[in-house]
Amino acid sequence: MRDLGTQEFIEWADSYLRDELSREERLRFEEFCSQNPTYAALFSEHVSFISSLKQTDARASFKQALAETAQEYYQAETVKKPAKIIRLWNSLQLNAAVAAAIAIVSVFSTLWLTGYYSNLKKTSTDYSALRRDMNTVKRNVNAHNAEIKNIKSDKDNTEDMHFGATGFMITRDGYVVTNYHVITGADSVHLQNHKGESYKAEIIFTNPEKDLAILHISDSTFKSLKNLPYTFKKQDSDLGEDIYTIGFPRDEAVYGQGYLSSATGYAGDTLAYQISIPVNPGNSGGPVLDKDGNVIGIISGKQKGIDGAAFAIKTKALLETLNSIPVDSLKGNIVLSNRNGLTNLNRTDQIKRLQDYIYIVKVY
């Protein structure tokens, strides 16, 4: 998603609080806040500001009602009737109390009827949970950073990994693609194949908007593999098409299959698909292939609240990203495979051929 300015985010937040968003838009707003702690904190401050503003407005309304009532009685009486003025003043005190009560009830009734309190309560609960999660992550990161400082060689890094996902080769000579959100903020990145062999990788290029990152294996022990057995499909795939993926939600490869459930991703994103394959965080960056072994996308995440619904970035977005890499950033040209060696194989044999080209992405 493109970066938002502060004012644009505040307007979006106001629409959320006034319940002017559709269910899909509300989910999109909540997911944006959960992925952007800075905006989450801004939203919490904005909610507090609105609450203070409502209280100030209630006090101002009360003062105005009191002043208007006093002016009416003052104009109706003369100085020559002190006894009556005293009685009116006593009456005015009662009326002022009534006016204040009416003003307060009116303000809080309006807030209740518009659903402000229910939204505020839900938002406060969500952000309390978010703050707890952020504190937990912070503690974990600090602990891991302390451990990493004591590491004497890259081979000892395995036990100190604080994040794992999936990546797969786009060329035989060491270029690998994964998600941007997987490697952002990384001090170092290592790739491990299904045989347990680990290689150090460099981050060559990132595209946060498309959630893609291009890596290159820089380890001297890495040897170029045989030609990739799969190709990259440039055209959109059809709704309901049979698809599958291989990824690393744990330390061994896991196969998943399903179908393409929507031609667009979250909030109508035309650069992504919605797929019906159950995925976990470790699947992020894994390939999505059709029945003929063509790569049609890259796993990018799971939709919260909907079982079995996930998203995959279309191969078209990957190709656009590769074309935008500056030449001086490359470690040699990126030449994609144009021969598919999986087409005539059954699914089991396809998976056996694929495993050498898919890696666990370990971030430190």
Tell me the backbone φ, ψ of residue 288, rounded to 5 degrees: -115, 125
The DSSP call for residue 196 is S
When pLDDT is cut at 50, 70 and 90, the band that residue 157 belongs to is: very low
Cβ density class 187-211: b for 16+ within 10 Å, e for less? ebbbbbbbeeebbbbebbbbbeebb
Domain extents for the chain?
A: 6-129, 158-364
How many Å apart are CA 22 and CA 268, to the nearest integer? 14
pLDDT single digits (tens) 43-100:
888 888 888 778 877 777 777 877 777 777 666 654 444 455 555 555 555 555 555 5
Q: Which two tokens stand for residue 189?
A: 């990145």
- pLDDT value at residue 333: 82
pLDDT single digits (tens) 25-51:
888 888 888 888 888 888 888 888 888
Chain length of the chain: 364
Q: Are 184 and 304 in contact (CB under 8 A)?
A: no
Domain 158-364, CATH:
2.40.10.120
Question: Which residues are CB-neighbours of 101 under 8 A, at least 6 positions away?
Answer: none
pLDDT single digits (tens) 12-26:
888 888 888 888 888
Strand partners, 198: 192
pLDDT single digits (tens) 240-272:
999 999 999 888 899 999 999 999 988 888 999
What letter represents residue 179's amino acid? N
pLDDT single digits (tens) 318-353:
999 999 999 898 887 888 988 999 999 999 999 999
How many Å apart are CA 70 and CA 269, to the nearest integer? 60
- 314 exposure class (CB count in 10 Å sphere: 0-12, 13-18, 19+): buried
- pLDDT value at residue 303: 62
- pLDDT value at residue 63: 77
State the alpha helices, DSSP H only, in 251-314: none
pLDDT single digits (tens) 167-222:
999 999 999 999 999 999 899 999 999 999 999 999 999 999 999 999 999 899 99
pLDDT single digits (tens) 115-142:
655 555 555 555 555 566 566 555 555 6
How many Å apart are CA 340 and CA 231, to the nearest integer? 6
The two most distant CA atoms of the chain are separated, in Å, by 110
Whether pLDDT at 236 is above 90:
yes
Reduced to 3 states (helix: H, G, I; strand: E, B; else coil), residue 275 is: strand
- HSE at residue 8, side-chain half, CA atoms within 13 A, is 4
What letter represents residue 114's amino acid? T
How many Å apart are CA 307 and CA 309, to the nearest integer? 6
Question: Which residues are CB-neighbours of 233 under 8 A, at least 6 positions away?
Answer: 290, 294, 295, 296, 315
